[in-house]
Amino acid sequence: MTTPGAEPPHPAATLGEIALAARSRLPAPVWNYLMGGADDEAALARNRLALDGLALAPRVLSGVTEVSTRASVLGIPAAAPLFLAPIGSLGLLDPGGAAASTAAANRLGIPAFVSIMSQPHFAQVAARVPAPGALVLQLYARGDDAWLAARAAEARDAGFGALCVTVDTAWYARRERDLAARFARHQAVDRPAVDDRAGAEGDRRQAAFDWRALETFIAGAGLPVAVKGILRPDDARRAVECGAAAVYLSNHGGRQLDHARAAVEALEAVRAAVGPSVELLVDGGFLRGADVLKALALGARAVGLGKFQGLGLAAGGAPALTRALELLLEELRIAMALCGAASPARLSRDLVVAAAPLPPRGAPLLTDAVAEVLAAARSPLPEGAQA
């Protein structure tokens, strides 16, 4: 029975239904903005191919009758080793924007990274959820040390539990789907609700942000700080030396440096470089529970959901994203049980092995709708969809 005034649950039974609903609801330029990458989109494709190039070697007869997915992210208790990755243009996907996304995350008990470029203003987002301490403010270095310190103070005042600084956007990439469509997201409905020092001065500050500035920011932040956009072991070590509470492996969803390696490919080497105690976060192409399990077994503490989050939100706002997360959690629990792991701590490296590449997208083996949607991202919209 639905509580009066509450949103009814979303009826999707599969993640494929969620993805197809998102595609049918979004105008073509927005769909391509969500699904696209930089230049030739090699890094975008690599994110998926790297996950598909790993197979699971499950343990049997393990006696697992119950599975707990409980974890923590940057000291924030989480119902699962998952979090919503920061996306600055959620308002393009649903009128609720970041408020709708964080509402879904709160319902499931997982952290949400809120972009400083999102709308509503991040302080308003925090005010709308019952657990603002489960939110992480992600920011870009669009100002000087004082500007960054002021944003950290705003986040503390709003009740955020941690911070995340993105370091792989010193220069912005060319995203040809957007260029071909003459699509500029900052001219759309989700203009940032915070002064981000846009223009040449902000770009210069972002390009000049260096290890000294990072160390200064972390030292004065007053909250745990994750450093996002790292793909090299030496950079990971240096981030830890600067005081980072977590190293966040990411190639920006394939949207920055084309031909960059997938974050999941860097996991083992980074784990070996920083040791067993440093918290590693990762995102990039994660769509299924088995994907998440692979990253956890390779050393990640938690997995971020970017395009997955966008698909869920676009499919029907907070209810659809909530349902997508429920389905992903169900997949993760089943995968863990079938691998003989009653908790994330029981997921070990030997559960993951290199495997022959899967057939190209669209082959009979890959009939699930999520794969079909990704493979068809450049094709015409279905009949009746918005244009």
Residues 206, 196: Cα–Cα separation, whole Å: 11
Backbone angles phi, psi at 369, to 5 degrees: -70, -30
**Tokens, residue 356:** 């022959």
Whole-number percent of the chain with pLDDT over 70 = 87
Q: Is the pLDDT of residue 293 over 80?
A: yes
How is 356-378 classified by DSSP, letter by letter?
PPPPPTTSTT--SHHHHHHHTTT
What average pLDDT does range 60-82 have in this prediction? 98
Q: Is the pLDDT of residue 300 over 80?
A: yes
The gap between the terminal CA atoms of the chain, to the nearest Å, is 37
Active site positions, annotated = 252
Tell me what pLDDT residue 178 has.
86
Q: Is the pLDDT of residue 202 over 90?
A: no
All structural domains of the chain with their residue ranges: 15-355
Q: Is 290's pLDDT higher than 70?
A: yes
Separation of alpha carbons 155 and 214, rounded Å:
17
CA 328 to CA 322: how far, in whole Å?
10
pLDDT per position as a tens digit, 313-327: 999 999 999 999 999
SS3 316: coil
Helix 307-314 crosses helix 28-35 at what angle (to 10 degrees)?
150
**Which whole number is the average pLDDT over 208-228?**
97
What Cα–Cα distance (Å) separates residue 277 from each residue in 221, 251, 331, 347? 22, 23, 27, 16
The amino acid sitting at 32 is N
Residue given tokens 């495997």 in the structure block = 355
Q: What is the CATH number that goes with domain 15-355?
A: 3.20.20.70
In single-letter form, the type of residue at position 94 comes to D
Average pLDDT rounded to a whole number, residues 308-313: 96
pLDDT level of residue 92 (50, 70, 90 thresholds): very high
pLDDT at 233 over 80: yes
At 134-149, the pLDDT tens digits run 999 999 999 999 999 9
What pLDDT does 301 receive?
98
DSSP assignments along 278-304, one per residue? SEEEE-SS--SHHHHHHHHHTT-SEEE
Element (H, E) at 86: none
Specify the pLDDT at position 199.
66
Query: What amino acid is encoded at 365 in this protein?
Result: L
> Using an 8 Å Cβ cutoff, are 23 and 382 in contact?
yes
Please check the confidence at residue 288 and state whether its pLDDT lies above 80. yes
Q: Per-residue pLDDT for 51 more than 80?
A: yes
pLDDT at 242 over 90: yes
Nearest to 311 by CA among 363, 253, 353, 225: 253
The answer to whether 303 touches 85, Cβ cutoff 8 Å, is no
**pLDDT exceeds cutoff 50 at 303:** yes
380: confidence class by pLDDT, cuts 50, 70, 90: very low
Least confident of 19-33, 78-92, 308-322: 19-33
Task: Tell me the C-alpha distance between 121 and 114, whole Å.
Answer: 10
Instruction: Please report, rounded to a whole number, the percentage of residues in the chain having pLDDT higher than 90.
Output: 76
pLDDT of residue 381: 45
pLDDT at 8 exceeding the cut of 90: no
123-135: average pLDDT: 96
